[in-house]
Amino acid sequence: MATMLQILDFLGVAVFAVTGAIVASRLRLDCLAFVFFAVFTGVGGGTLRDLLLDAPVFWVENEIYLVVCIAIGALMWFVIPPVERLSKPLRWVDAMGLAAYSVMGAAKTLSLGHPPTVAVLMGVATATFGGIIRDTIAGQPSALLKPELYLTPAFVGAGVYVGLFSFGIEAWPAAIAGVAVAFFLRGGAILKGWHLPGYTPPRDES
């Protein structure tokens, strides 16, 4: 379990740090801003999770997470042109981070002895809060406000992991299933515009 948590944690931090640097590049900011966006996007979701769970904040206990974010922010300064030539790089990298962190947040919550419902909620918070911070600082519309699936993949991914693990499935198979389902749903939203029906106010017939 501990190894799985650390791998998912580093994966989530790294890919969200990449999305922060991509946003900084699109705003035509300097190298230090690349690092700033990479750090705050990378550690944002996990920080919220740990604060809500009254657990030691992961990057305060282990500074290697900050080193990873700083290194990624600096590296992206040099490799942004080929990255941006890829199709929808920001959304796909964000989807990878969302999938990994939805399971990571749920798994860590369960490991601390909290109930399954709390674990699913913490999985969603961990997966989405870094992106919210990134978009808010950049002054861009949050993905949460778009009709395509965003919260739903995180919720389902965390739910699949928690459900399988609670029924006795080993941590790694449960984690792989949760990440795969979350990434599949988010990928469908990116490629096909998958979305749930939005609220429609009743017509005023007066």
Tens digits of per-residue pLDDT, 18-64?
Answer: 999 999 999 999 999 999 999 999 999 999 999 999 999 999 999 99
If one counts every other C-beta atom within 10 angstroms of the C-beta of residue 99, the result is 28
Residues 6+ apart with CB under 8 A from 48: 125, 126, 129
Residue with tokens 């992206």: 76
The answer to whether the pTM exceeds 0.85 is: yes
Report yes or no: 35 and 70 within 8 Å, Cβ to Cβ.
Answer: yes
Tens digits of per-residue pLDDT, 115-170?
Answer: 999 999 999 999 999 999 999 999 988 888 888 899 999 999 999 999 999 999 99
